[in-house]
Amino acid sequence: MSLLHWAILSPFIAALFIPMLYKRFRKIHTGWFVLVLSILLFIYFFMFLSQTRDGRNVSESLAWMPSLDINFEVYIDGLGLLFSLLITGIGALVVLYSIFYLNKDKEKLNNFYVYLLLFMGSMLGIVLSDNLIVLYMFWEFTSFSSFLLIGYWYQRERSRYGAQKSMLITVFGGLSMLGGFVLLSYIGDTFSIRELVSQNGELITHPLFTPALLLVLLGAFTKSAQFPFHIWLPDAMEAPTPVSAYLHSATMVKAGIYLVARLSPVFAESALWLWLIASVGIVTLFWGSFSAVKQTDLKGILAFSTISQLGMIMSLLGLGAAAIHYESMDEDIYVAATVAAVFHLINHATFKGSLFMAAGIIDHETGTRDIHKLGGLMNLMPITFTITIIGAFSMAGLPPFNGFLSKEMFLASMVSVTEMDLFNMENWGVLFPVLAWVGSIFTFVYSMIIVFKTFTGKYQPEKLKKKPHEAPIGMLIPPVILASLVIIFGLFPNLLSSTIIEPAVAAIQPGAVHVDIAHWHGFRVELGMTIGVIILGVLFYLTLAKWQNIYQLFPAKLSFNRLYDALLTGMERISLAVTRLFMSGFIRTYLVYIFLFFIISLGYTLFRKNALTIDMKNTAPIGIYELVLAGIITIAAIAILFAKSRLTSIILLGAVGYTVSIFFVLFRAPDLALTQLVIETISVALFLLCFYHLPKISRKEERLAFKLNNALISIGVGVIVALIALSSHSSKYFDAISKYYVENAYKEAGGENIVNVILVDFRGLDTMFEITVLGIAAIGIFAIIKLRLTRGKEEG
Amino acid sequence: MKTNDIILQTVAKLASLVILLFSIYIFFGGHYSPGGGFVGGLLASGAIVLLLLAYDLKTVAAILPIDYKLLIAAGLLIAVLTGAGALLFDAPFMTHTFSYFDVPLLGHTALHTAVLFDLGVYLVVVGVTMTIIQTIGESE
C-alpha cells in the first residue's frame, strides 16, 4: 500500500475519528481538523505537478480482488491531477468557509464533516482510479454522501425531497454506468482503463460497443446534470451553501465530465459519442442559461448557471472527440476544443465557487436569497459585492477575467464545427454556434441579474429578517482567494497552460498536444460574437421586465420537474393498482392463479414436446369389480359437488375413502387397505368434529354455487392430470426396480412382507421422517389448541 | 335423565383388550404378513379411544396414566437410536441386521433390529393419535 493509497483513503480514515474529535473538543470547531487534512492533501497532490508536466505518470497498485481482476489501481496523469487539485484545493477553501458558516453550537457538525470527508475521499477515488469497478464504487460513494449532505437539514421537507430526487436520478445513472462498464470490460477483457485505451481501435467493431457507450453516457449525463437529467441540481440547493459550492459547482457535478474526458480515448472514434455529447451539451447550455433567467432565488440562478456551464464543457469535450479524425491537420482546431474544455473547467470551479460562497454570505447576513427582497447591498457589503462582480463578470465572459478567455475559446470551437465534414455535421453543425451564442446572451443576462438585482437598486430593510452587515473575515477569505484566482488566471493564463492544461489534454487526447495554449489574441469571429453578446445582453437585461413574460408561455405542466413527479407518483399509483389487481387477499383467487399456471405450463409442455401418447398396449384387463368400484367412487365424488348439506359431503367423502381401501384390497395391497381403512375412519371423525363446532351463522345449508370459471379450471386440471398419467404410462422406458425388492426381501432383510420391509429397512429413512411429521402435527395441534385457551383466559 | 352405560362399558373392557392383543399381533407379524408398526399403532389407539367413548377422559387418564407427548418423543428416540446403532458397527446409518436365536418359550426365532425401529413407529403413532384426540376432546 503506497502513500498514494493512504492519501486517497485518508479522508475515510479521518471520518472515523471526526465524531470522537467532535465530542472531545467541543470548544474547537470541528472543521479546523478537516481543514488541516485537506490542506495537507492539496500540498501532497501539488507535488506531483512536476512529474505530470514532464509526462511522467504515476501508478500504484494494491491487490483487492485479484481473482476477479479488481484491484485498487491508482493512476495519476494530467487529468487526474487536475481534478485532485480541484477537489482538495476547493475542498480546503470550502471547509474554511463552512467553519464560519455553520454554527458550532447549533449544528450537528460531526455529521456534516463526516459526510464531507466521505465525499472528498470518494471523489479522489473516482478521479485517480484506473480500475472501472473501483471507479464505480467511489462513484456510488459520492452519490450517497451527496444524498446525506443535501439532506443535512433533514427536518425540512424540501431537503428530503431534493435529497431523494438527486439520489434516484444519480443512482439510476450510476447503475446504467455499471452496466456500461461491465459491457466494456467484456469487450476489452479488462477492467483497467489504460488497457482499454490501448486497444481502442478494436473495441469499436464489437456489437456491444454502442450499448456500452450509451450506458456509460447515461451515467455521466445524470451525474453532471445534463439535459434532461438536470432537474435534480436545482432541488439540491436545499443543502447548506458550502455543500452547494463544493459538490454542486466544483466537484461532484464534474464527475460526469471527468468520466467523459477519461473515456474519450476509448469511445472517441464513434460518431454517436461525438454527436450525443456535443448536442446534449449544447442543449443543456442553452436550456440552463435560458431557465436561469427566470429564477428568483440566488442559488436557483447559480444552479441553472452550473447546469449551463457544465453543458458548455460537455459540448466542448464532444467536439474535441473530432480531433481523432483529423490527425493530419496542421492547426488542429478540435484539440483546441478540448483545451477550452479543460480551461473552462478550472475557470468554472473558481468563479462558481466564489459566487456560491458570496450567495451564502448574502443568505447568512440578510436571511433571504430571494432577489425580489434583496437590493442596495453595495454599501453594506462591499467585499461581497466585489467578489460577486468578479465572479459574475467572469461567468458572463467579460474581458479582464478568465471567463472571457475560455468563452472566446468556446465560441471559436463552436464556429469551427461548421468546418467539420464528417457525420453529417455540415447539415446540422450550424446549430452549434447559434445555440452557443444565444446561450451566452442569456448567460450574460443572468450574470447581470445576480450582481445588480442584489447589490444595486432600492434597499428594502423591512423585507429582510436580519440587519445586513459584512460577513466575518473567515467567511470572506475563501471567496477572496477564488476571486483573485479568477483575476490571476484571467491576466496570466499561461501559468496554467504548460503545468496543468497540457498534461490534462494529453490524457484526453493521447499524442495530439502541440497547441499553443498561450494564443489568445487577435481579431476573429469569436471576438465579434462576444461583442454581440455584450451589446444584446445589456439590451436584454435593461428590457427584462418587458420580455420576461415569455416564460409564462411555457406551461408549468410541461416542465421536466412535473414529469419527474408524475413519473414517481404514477409509478407508485400503477404498482399499487397492479398489486391490488391480483393480490386480492382471497385464497380462492390465488388458487385460481396456481391452477391456471399448472394447466398452462403443463399443457404447453405436453403439446410442445409432443409427449402426448396414449398407448393401450400395456394395460391390464378390466374386470367387473373394478368397474363397479369405479362407478361407486365416481358417483360419490360427483355427488359431493351437488350435496346440499355439509354432513352429506362428509359422509360421501368417507364413502370415497372406503372405496379406495376396497380398491387396495382388489389390487392386492393389504397393508394399504388396513391403513386406509383406519385413517379414513379417523379423518371422517375429525370432519364431523369440525362440522359440529361450526359457528351457527355459517351453518346455513346451501348448495355450492355454480361458477363457470371454477368449473372450467377444475375440468382443465383433471384433464391435464389424466393426460399426463396416460402419457407417462404409455411411455415407460425402463422396468421397475421392484424386482430387486421381491427377490431380496427375505434374503437380505429377513422379512416376507415386502411393503413393511421396504418401509422399515430398504427405505427406512423416509419412514423415520414421516413419523417425525406426525409428531410435529400432533404437537402443532396441541400447541394451537392449548395456547389459544391460555390466551383466551388472559384476555377474559 | 341419568344414562346407564353398563353394557357399553362391559363390552368396551373386553373389546379393547381384544383390540390391543390384535394390535400387538399385527405389530409383531408385520415383517411376514400384512401389518406393522403403523397399523398396529393405529389399532392400539383405537382400543384406547373405545375406552374413552365408554368412560370419560379422566377415568381413562387414571387407567392409563401416560403423557402421550412423551410417547411421541420416546418413539422418535427409539427410531433414531436404532438407525444410529448401525454406526457403532461401522455400517451406514439405518443398516438393519437380523439373526436367529433360541429364545426361551419361543424357541428358534429370528430377531431383527427393524422390529425395534417399527416399535418406534408404533409408539409415535399411538402418541400422535392419542395426543390429537385428547387435546381436541379436552378443548371446549
Residue A3: per-residue pLDDT: 85
Residue A107: per-residue pLDDT: 81
Residue A796: per-residue pLDDT: 41
Is A20 in contact with A137 (CB distance < 8 Å)? no
Lowest mean pLDDT segment, chosen from A167-176, A226-235, A425-434: A425-434
pLDDT of residue B134 exceeding 90: no
Query: Mind telling me how many Å the CA of A765 is from chain B's nearest CA?
Result: 7
CB contact under 8 A, B42 and A768: no
Instruction: Name the residue type at position A704.
Output: L
Residue A748 CB partners (closer than 8 Å, separation 6+): none
On chain B, the residues whose CB falls within 8 A of the CB of A752 are 31-33
Is A541 in contact with A448 (CB distance < 8 Å)? yes
Is B123 in contact with B74 (CB distance < 8 Å)? yes
Rounded to whole angstroms, the Cα distance separating A690 from A781 reads: 14
Domain count within chain B: 1
Please report, for residues A84, A333, A665, the alpha-carbon distance to residue A257 in angstroms, rounded to integers and kept in the order given. 14, 20, 83
Rounded to whole angstroms, the Cα distance separating A338 from A314 reads: 10
Give me the mean pLDDT over the A668-689 stretch: 87
Residue A21: per-residue pLDDT: 85
CB contact under 8 A, A775 and B72: yes
Residue with cell 379406495: A660
Residue with cell 451564502: A360
pLDDT of residue A100 exceeding 50: yes
pLDDT of residue B51 exceeding 50: yes
Query: Of all residues in chain A, what percent carry a pLDDT higher than 90?
Result: 23
Query: Mind telling me how many Å the CA of B107 is from chain A's nearest CA?
Result: 17
Residue spans per domain, chain A: 1-265, 270-552, 556-583, 587-732, 753-795
Is the CB of residue A756 less than 8 Å away from at least one CB of chain B? Answer: yes
Residue A331 CB partners (closer than 8 Å, separation 6+): none
Tens digit of pLDDT for each residue in A504-553? 888 887 765 655 655 556 667 777 888 888 888 888 888 877 777 777 66
Is the CB of residue A761 less than 8 Å away from at least one CB of chain B? Answer: yes
Cα angle A435, A436, A437 (rounded to 5 degrees) comes to 90
Give the range with max mean pLDDT: A25-39, A214-228, B1-15. Answer: A214-228
Rounded to whole angstroms, the Cα distance separating A745 from A755 reads: 9
Residue A657: per-residue pLDDT: 94
DSSP notation for B2-54: ----HHHHHHHHHHHHHHHHHHHHHHHGGGTSS--HHHHHHHHHHHHHHHHHH
On chain B, the residues whose CB falls within 8 A of the CB of A791 are none
CB contact under 8 A, A779 and B30: no
Residue A547: per-residue pLDDT: 75
CB contact under 8 A, A689 and B80: no
- Of the pLDDT bands very low, low, confident and very high (cuts 50, 70, 90), residue A50 is confident
Within A367-424, residue ranges assigned H as helices are 382-396, 402-416
- Of the pLDDT bands very low, low, confident and very high (cuts 50, 70, 90), residue B94 is confident
Radius of gyration of chain A, Cα coordinates, nearest whole angstrom: 38
CB contact under 8 A, B39 and A786: no
| Best CA proximity match to A204, nearest among A266, A133, A278 | A266
Please report, for residues A197, A263, A576, the alpha-carbon distance to residue A204 in angstroms, rounded to integers and kept in the order given. 12, 13, 43
Task: Find the domain containing B74 and state its range.
Answer: 5-138
What predicted TM-score, i.e. pTM, was given to this entire model?
0.81
Query: Mind telling me how many Å the CA of B76 is from chain A's nearest CA?
Result: 7
Cis check for the bond before A228: say yes or no (omega within 30 of 0).
yes
Rounded to whole angstroms, the Cα distance separating A716 from A598 reads: 10
Three-state DSSP state, A369: coil
Give me the mean pLDDT over the A383-389 stretch: 88
Tens digit of pLDDT for each residue in A113-130? 999 999 999 999 999 999
Name which of B35, B80, B121 is nearest A674 (Cβ-Cβ).
Answer: B35
On chain A, the residues whose CB falls within 8 A of the CB of B83 are 764-765, 768
Is the CB of residue A684 less than 8 Å away from at least one CB of chain B? Answer: no
Q: Name the closest residue on chain B to residue A760, using Cα atoms.
A: B114
Tens digit of pLDDT for each residue in A702-725? 667 778 888 999 999 999 999 988
Identify the H or E element spanning A122: helix A109-128
Residue A169: per-residue pLDDT: 92
Is the CB of residue A140 less than 8 Å away from at least one CB of chain B? Answer: no
Lowest mean pLDDT segment, chosen from A149-163, A366-380, A454-468: A454-468
- Tally of CB atoms within 10 A around A172: 15
pLDDT of residue A93 exceeding 70: yes
- Of the pLDDT bands very low, low, confident and very high (cuts 50, 70, 90), residue A205 is confident
CB contact under 8 A, A774 and B33: no
CB contact under 8 A, B128 and A775: yes
Residue A762: per-residue pLDDT: 85
Name which of B43, B68, B120 is nearest A771 (Cβ-Cβ).
Answer: B120
Tens digit of pLDDT for each residue in A575-607? 999 999 888 888 888 999 999 999 999 999 988
What's the complex ipTM?
0.91
Rounded to whole angstroms, the Cα distance separating A529 from A288 reads: 20
What's phi and psi for A272, nearest 5 deg?
-60, -40
pLDDT of residue B132 exceeding 50: yes
Give the range with max mean pLDDT: A315-324, A424-433, B70-79. Answer: B70-79
On chain A, the residues whose CB falls within 8 A of the CB of B75 are 771, 775
What cell does A673 get?
A: 387397505
Is A74 in contact with A59 (CB distance < 8 Å)? yes
| Best CA proximity match to A404, nearest among A322, A472, A493 | A493
Residue A491: per-residue pLDDT: 83
Q: Name the closest residue on chain A to residue B137, using Cα atoms.
A: A689
CB contact under 8 A, B79 and A768: yes
On chain B, the residues whose CB falls within 8 A of the CB of A773 are none
Query: Of all residues in chain A, what percent carry a pLDDT higher than 70?
Result: 92
Give the range with max mean pLDDT: A361-375, A402-416, A771-785, B84-98. Answer: A771-785
Is the CB of residue A632 less than 8 Å away from at least one CB of chain B? Answer: no
Q: Quick one: A170 exposed, middle or buried, by C-beta within 10 A (0-12, 13-18, 19+)?
A: buried
Please report, for residues A234, A274, A339, A444, A680, the alpha-carbon distance to residue A773 in angstroms, rounded to integers and kept in the order given. 63, 68, 77, 81, 18
Rounded to whole angstroms, the Cα distance separating A487 from A482 reads: 9
What cell does A235 get?
A: 432541488
CB contact under 8 A, B42 and A752: no
- The chain-wide mean pLDDT, for chain A, equals 85
